[in-house]
Amino acid sequence: MKPGNVKRALRIFFLLATAIVMAGAAHAGVRIGGSAFSANGQLARDYQYTGPCPVDLKFDWGVIAFEPSTVSYWFRRNDRGQSTASRTIGLPGGNRSIPILEQWRLGANTPQFFNYSGWVELNIESPNRISNRIRFTLHCQ
């Protein structure tokens, strides 16, 4: 083989090897596939609730892993509340969505909650850092 062809073959080999390693690393993490917001057990349309308060809110994120993984996560809220410790959940992999849930009882029949906007944020620490915030609005009556 000519020296120029050897260099070209080695360059292609290293580019392919790098691409394979990077593709494997990309699949090792998790991603958040979607979210939902429920109030008093009913799915809230457009992330809004209108009705009596206080109300039981449920926040639901679909977390997806390509490979079996253990996920460490915690929550943060707009009222400066947050989880006191990280939680963990095992994900089976196979690109299947597994729910991670958080609940919050909120609101009162006071002017503060007549049109209250807030959020809850899921923060995944490992196997990769990612977060997703669910914004919502309450209209307490």
| pLDDT one-digit tens code per residue, 77-110 | 999 888 878 999 999 999 999 999 999 999 888 8
User: pTM of this prediction?
Assistant: 0.77
25: left (phi over 0), alpha (psi -120 to 50) or beta: alpha
Domain ranges of the chain: 29-140
The pLDDT confidence band at residue 3, using thresholds 50, 70 and 90, is: low
Superfamily holding 29-140: abc- transporter (atp binding component) like domain (2.70.50.60)
The DSSP H or E segment spanning 13 is helix 3-27
Q: Is 119 exposed, middle or buried (0-12, 13-18, 19+ CB in 10 A)?
A: middle
